[in-house]
Structure 1
Amino acid sequence: MSYPRIDGKKMAAGEFKHTWNADLVYFDGPLVSLYKAEDGSDLLYVWLDCTGKSNRWCMFPVTRANLWNYLEKEKSLREVFEASKWVVVFQTGSSLKRSGLIKTTWSDLPENYLPDNDSYLDDDVATKAAGKLAAEIAEEYLLGLDGELFIEDLTEIPKVYQQLYSFHYGLEHIERPAVRNSITRLTQRWSGGFNAVHLFSGLQDVTPSIHRAKVCELRFNSPGFIRLELLGNLARQVEIAANRVADEDYFSQLQDFYTSTYRYFNDHELSGFDNESGVESRPLTPEAEKELRGKVVLFFRLLGWGEKHECLDALGINPLQQLRVLLAYYRRLRKLRPYLVSGNLILGRSPLVNGS
């Protein structure tokens, strides 16, 4: 048995570097999966056909709106498919490596390769991940701006905020295999010069467009704002932590915690900074593990997150790896403090909106 011939342009597998986000439809294996490209755009991978030795798939780009409409059962897979500007057909064998890539359009595919007209997301085969993606609805949120700001400030504020938001996305979605695997893989590679930037960018890679912090409006004539569309519960978690770091008493406690933690690292020849290299991995003694676990719990309480440290425990990474992640988060959070204290940045509201 052979596959039907597909006319189009031959492509190299290396031209498509995509990160798996989640399987959306599963029946004896994934049938529809969500991936993310290097430029941040979403793609759907759809199973088409098989022989005794391989499977044939296609990949195609999907807009934020169409992805949302598909998850909400407002558009069929056929409609989403036909909205794509291109389709790449490929095969995978036992090694799962892609081969035989042909770039074409949906109109040039055999009719039996196209989804049915009523191919709406069916609850019977939809995955839990698909259900959660659909259940979480983005809402508007303001980053209020005021006072004197420079162009580098308008670069720094959104950059840091995005990293903090990605961290909370990871905590909230840690049960999703793509998120859990990303955090576990990156934290375990911390030694030998690992840079924490990779952790935050890795979490962004497993955040689909419907959950990313999308800019809806940018206005600044002192005062002003950046109006975002994002998951509100995550924005509020960032806001809680930011309010703590802006408060003099809490900030003093956080700085004492930060200093004492690194003093402990140095005294016990452990590593924790973003860009340390040549770090030797060594097993923690029971005493050190107990001490570091207590620090993880204290950090969450200092930032007002309660018992969310249990999310990190579910990863199976040790408390030293957890602390490396948490302190990398804190170093980024601390960059917002001057803006918060001066009133240049107000989270959740703007003086320009409703006069508040």
Structure 2
Amino acid sequence: MLNLNGSPLKSLPITGLTWERDLLYFDGPLLSEFRASNKEKYLKYWCDCNESYNRWMYFRIKEEDRLRLVLGELSLLECIKNKSTSFVFFVDENEIKSEYQLVNLSEIPNDYLPETDAYLNIDEYIEDSNVASLVFEDNWKFDDLKEVYKKLTQIYDFIFVAKKQLGTSGGMPWQDGFSVMHFYNKLKDMIPRPSKSYLEAIHYASPGYMKINVDSEIANVTFEAINKYKNEKKIIDQIYSDLYTRIKTLDLNNISLTNAITEFSKDTDCQQYYKLLVQKLYCVESAWLDKFANTDFERSKILMAHTRRLKSFLNFIEDGRIRVVTSEIENN
């Protein structure tokens, strides 16, 4: 192994290191992610070996860099050079003992640095438990970031209630915007407190990230629903447009609610478009929807509201403004 120009240490000065996941593996881990007791993230990178030791480099990684690393947007070399500290730790270890050194970035041997094109390609990456992470660039207006958060959590809330088959809508007129607002507030109230979505962290400056507390299982289904919509966007948008136009033609939003419900149930076009929307939207079972809402008019309005949110959130992804740290969605 190469000689290091560093300062010997008695131990690794990082408390409570806990393994999170292996990021590179070949007959054993080559790059692993750890969490310290202060919640900072560290990477452990294999560098060298001899007949007695394996040599590893430990370095702290900023969260915005970690997220871009696993998305394949930032190279491992850039993560090392972008460190907030000017040093790394080298550990020579075997099954019996370990030896430690602190080494300045400028003193790391070139042979121990990854290639400039060393990007990760992790198809089955699983983010931290009960966390959904988004990354974004440029300078966002705070209201725009609020809209991203709002749309994603509303999709999540709907998927949670649909997947768990909770509650009932309570019956709302759905002939104005207030019904939509009250509907999503009601959904959030149905979700048990430990599974409610809330903003856990946000790094506003570019490059930025947002971390949202979620139920991991439902978050995965949520991202699957977004991806399913993406794959059939043209068809679903056309069904939505046809249903919207038919409701407008029949003036169902401006007549009495009783008449709107009756006209919708009798109109063959409304019924056809509504049933097609049920078939195309992921994680929506007609049996649950029949119990959840009282009329086809209300059910169709619920699905239309959900479709609009899928469309809005996907627009953020497709224009490249945000990326989701998940293997469920193909980011642009």
- Give the TM-score normalised by structure 1: 0.48
Which residue matches 1:206?
190
Are 2:151 and 1:150 equivalent residues in the alignment? Answer: no
Maintained 8 Å contact 1:145/1:224:
yes
Give the alignment of 1:30-69 within 5 angstroms.
none
Which residue matches 1:312?
289
**Residue 321 to residue 345, structure 1, CA distance change in 2 (3 Å):** same
Distance in 2 (CA, whole Å) between partners of 1:286 and 1:301 is 18
Which residue matches 1:266?
248
**Residue 304 to residue 316, structure 1, CA distance change in 2 (3 Å):** closer
5+ long unaligned stretches in structure 2: 1-128, 328-332
**Residue 141 to residue 286, structure 1, CA distance change in 2 (3 Å):** closer
Maintained 8 Å contact 1:191/1:279:
no
Give the alignment of 1:106-145 within 5 angstroms.
139-145=130-136
Distance in 1 (CA, whole Å) between partners of 2:248 and 2:269 is 14
Which residue matches 1:284?
262
Which residue matches 2:276?
298
| Secondary structure at 2:219 match in 1 | helix
Distance in 2 (CA, whole Å) between partners of 1:216 and 1:309 is 34
Which residue matches 1:243?
227
Q: What's the CA shift string for 1:9-31, capped at 9, x where partnerless?
A: xxxxxxxxxxxxxxxxxxxxxxx
Structure with larger Rg: 2
| Secondary structure at 1:304 match in 2 | coil
Are 2:306 and 1:329 equivalent residues in the alignment? Answer: yes
Which residue among 203, 214, 218 is the counterpart of 2:202? 218
Distance in 1 (CA, whole Å) between partners of 2:139 and 2:227 is 21
Counterpart residue identity of residue 165, structure 1: Y
Aligned CA-pair RMSD: 3.0
Maintained 8 Å contact 1:216/1:228:
yes
Which residue among 213, 223, 227 is the counterpart of 2:211? 227
Are 2:328 and 1:344 equivalent residues in the alignment? Answer: no
Maintained 8 Å contact 1:192/1:278:
no
| Secondary structure at 2:179 match in 1 | coil
5+ long unaligned stretches in structure 1: 1-137, 272-276, 351-356
Distance in 2 (CA, whole Å) between partners of 1:205 and 1:218 is 24
Counterpart residue identity of residue 197, structure 2: A
How many residues of Structure 1 are paired with residues of Structure 2 in the alignment?
Answer: 198
Which residue among 217, 225, 235 is the counterpart of 1:253? 235
